[in-house]
Amino acid sequence: MVQVERTSTLEVRTPEDVVKVRQEVRKRTAAVGFSLVDQTKFVTAASEIARNTIDHGGGGRAHIETIVLTGKRGVRLVFEDQGPGIADIKLAMQDGYSTGGGLGMGMPGSKRLSNEFYVESSPGKGTKVTLVRWKSS
Amino acid sequence: MEQIPILKVGRCLLVSIQIDMHDKLAMALQDDLTQKLVETRARGVLIDISALDLVDSFIGRMLSNIAAMARVLDAQTVVVGMRPQVAITLVELGLTLTGIQTALDVDRGLALINRLIDAEGEDGAGGAH
Amino acid sequence: MLEKHQSKLLTSWVQQQLASGSLRSGQIKEDELKEHSEKFLREFVASLKSGQTDDIVGAGWSPVRELLGEVSRSRALQGFTPSETATFIFSLKGPLFTLLREEIKGNAQVLGDEIWTATKLIDKLGLYTAEVHQQSRDDIIRRQAQELLELSTPVVELWHKILALPLIGTLDSERTQTVMENLLNHIVKSGAEIAIIDITGVPTVDTLVAQHLIKTVSAARLMGADCIISGIRPQIAQTIVHLGLQLDVVSKATMADAFALALKRTGQVVNRAAAKPA
């Protein structure tokens, strides 16, 4: 069973909030002892999903948790919004897919930067994206 | 609102990105650069990102936009100072900064830009100066 | 009761351990053995006093757990097996039961209960010791694997502005991460503009390995360094074509060819010294 050691919640509505999310995730991953590369990867993933929450989800929240599971420690991020939802998750997870020009929704990339990645979403029901990265020994 | 300073160094414009950029600042920078490029007839844009510990798709898009815009104005773009952990993350993220040259630091970046400009010869819009 | 006879118990316990060869032919000295035994007995008695006698996970038992953890880890490093280390604890049973039998003469019921409680406790402690032992062995193995990983991806500064990266063995995703970090850090340190990645020592190049190579090349490019792949054996060349792999990078058969190209690209020349007149 995953235990949550610490958790904080941030509003994700403005570009300044994205900066705050990045800073908090950076602090947490550093505290758990992630290598610099792993920190950078996860903070970047957080930044991508935070932007998505604003651009596509109309704004929402981010829960940043330090977790423990049978001795290994990690950081879990949960981004949720009450926006329009994603109609076709599979399509959104393909590289290069995008609804509004640009480089795609950043989801497939964020998945590669995380150890675990889950998306719950359907039209009209909002979106919830969970990312987990464990400290590598 | 803060502004990102743009310096003229030889035939290039040098931009040093020091802080966490957000949308308005990025738009302002692109506007500024376009204007200065036209004003100074610079043939190169050097973007120093050595202070950035993170480059996400937003910044990536901004860099690509700057390069595209510079090309239209007959200028080369070189990005310098990418940190190793940022490079590794970008590659994993799948962000290909196409159309953007890179160099290790400002010195090499300037050398590269000058080589590129000279290679193009004098058939640039500005003609021989 | 234990406190009263603590020193007597200690002596007979140590004697028993020595007799049964716990010294393991000199790997652990008699003094150290005595010290461990004494410390353990002391903590054991103290924890017993704290009241909890049916399990060892409570706070009252944490000094014992800590001590066992230390002993177990140091024995693991010294090369003892988990059984040998656990036996250290189990061997307490013998002298302890003898002591109990002497003290509780005549009341079989009480004697039975006490022996049962003691057995359960000591078993749990022994098992705990074995677990910690296993854990520290795993840690050692992991650390060695890491060192091996680092050793097998050396980066060589071949020439001014030119790095060489001879890859030996398969390139999986974990190794690729190490390779990339290593290479990029060297690029920063040496200001290299060309990295020659030699794959003579890579047994097969399939789609996955090719992807890893491309990732590495892309990462180096973002740092302003171009790559040349060398050491392409004929079979590898065939595989690459058959699989339709797009290796968007210059490749050469030998490191020598790659080096010559690298010199040219970086505008450097190697001159043969003029022959001395006879």
- What ipTM does the predicted assembly reach? 0.87
Yes or no: say if A72 and A135 are a contact pair by the CB < 8 Å rule.
yes
B55 vs C55, higher pLDDT: B55
Q: Tell me, yes or no, if A70 comes closer than 8 A to chain C by beta carbon.
A: no
Residue from B1, B23, B89, B100 to probe the interface with A (highest A Cβ count within 10 Å): B89
Residue from B22, B49, B57 to probe the interface with A (highest A Cβ count within 10 Å): B57
- Does the distance separating the beta carbons of C184 and B87 come in below 8 Å? yes
- Does the distance separating the beta carbons of C177 and A37 come in below 8 Å? yes
B31 vs B122, higher pLDDT: B31
Evaluate whether residue B50 is within a structural domain.
yes
Q: Is the dihedral angle over the CA atoms C185, C190, C195, C197 positive or is it negative?
A: negative
- Does the distance separating the beta carbons of B88 and C181 come in below 8 Å? yes
- Report the C-alpha gap between C195 and B100 in whole angstroms: 20
What residues contact residue B119 under an 8 Å CB cut-off, 6+ apart? none
Percent of residues, chain A, with pLDDT higher than 70: 92
CA geometry: angle B106, B112, B116, nearest 5 deg? 145
> How many C-beta neighbours within 10 Å does residue A110 have?
27
What residues contact residue A2 under an 8 Å CB cut-off, 6+ apart? A67, A68, A69, A76
- Report the C-alpha gap between A73 and A64 in whole angstroms: 14
> pLDDT digits over C199-209, tens only?
998 888 888 89
Evaluate whether residue B56 is within a structural domain.
yes
**Residue A31 has what pLDDT?**
94
Evaluate whether residue B125 is within a structural domain.
no
C142 vs A38, higher pLDDT: A38
Residue C60 has which token pair? 């009252």
Q: Is C53 helix (H, G, I), strand (E, B) or coil?
A: coil
**Residue C6 has what pLDDT?**
63
**Residue A99 has what pLDDT?**
45
Evaluate whether residue B14 is within a structural domain.
yes
Evaluate whether residue B108 is within a structural domain.
yes
Residue B127 has which token pair? 């003609």
What are the helix (H) ranges across B41-126?
57-72, 84-93, 106-120
**Residue A96 has what pLDDT?**
62
- Report the C-alpha gap between A26 and A44 in whole angstroms: 10
DSSP state of C275: P
Q: Tell me, yes or no, if A48 comes closer than 8 A to chain B by beta carbon.
A: yes
Q: Tell me, yes or no, if C177 comes closer than 8 A to chain B by beta carbon.
A: yes
Confidence of residue A54 (pLDDT cuts 50, 70, 90): very high
pLDDT, mean of residues A125-132 = 93
- Does the distance separating the beta carbons of C222 and B102 come in below 8 Å? yes
**Residue A102 has what pLDDT?**
39
Of B85, B88, B108, the CB nearest to C224: B108
Listing DSSP states for chain A in one string gives --EEEEEEEEEE-SHHHHHHHHHHHHHHHHHHT--HHHHHHHHHHHHHHHHHHHHTTSSEEEEEEEEEETTEEEEEEEEEE-SS--S-HHHHTSTT--SSSSS--SHHHHHHTSSEEEEEE-TTS-EEEEEEEEPP-
Evaluate whether residue B84 is within a structural domain.
yes
Least confident of A15-24, A41-50, A117-126, C95-104: C95-104
Evaluate whether residue B77 is within a structural domain.
yes
Least confident of A116-125, B40-49, C65-74: C65-74
Evaluate whether residue B24 is within a structural domain.
yes
**Residue C20 has what pLDDT?**
61
> pLDDT digits over A76-85, tens only?
999 999 988 8
In chain C, what is the straight-line distance between the N-terminal and C-terminal CA atoms, in Å? 100
CATH number, domain with residue B103: 3.30.750.24
Which residue range forms the structural domain that includes residue B59?
Answer: 6-120
- Report the C-alpha gap between B42 and B11 in whole angstroms: 5
Which value, to the nearest 10 degrees, does the dihedral of the CA atoms of residues C137, C139, C142, C146 take? -130
DSSP state of B44: E
> Rounded to the nearest 5°, which phi and psi values hold at A82?
-105, 30
Q: How far is CA A54 from the centre of its chain?
A: 12
Alpha-carbon distance C137 to nearest alpha carbon in chain A (angstroms): 14
Q: Tell me, yes or no, if A101 comes closer than 8 A to chain B by beta carbon.
A: no
**Residue C35 has what pLDDT?**
76
Size of interface A-B (CB pairs under 8 A): 64
Q: Which chain C residue is nearest to residue B102, measuring alpha carbons? A: C224
In chain A, what is the straight-line distance between the N-terminal and C-terminal CA atoms, in Å? 20
Alpha-carbon distance B93 to nearest alpha carbon in chain A (angstroms): 4
Residue from C177, C184, C215, C222 to probe the interface with A (highest A Cβ count within 10 Å): C177
Amino acid at A95: D
> pLDDT digits over B89-128, tens only?
999 988 878 778 999 999 999 999 999 888 876 554 444 4
pTM, full prediction: 0.72
Number of independent structural domains in chain B: 1
Beta strands A127-134 and A116-121: pairing type?
antiparallel
Yes or no: say if C80 and C23 are a contact pair by the CB < 8 Å rule.
no
Q: Which residues of chain C have pLDDT under 50?
A: 25
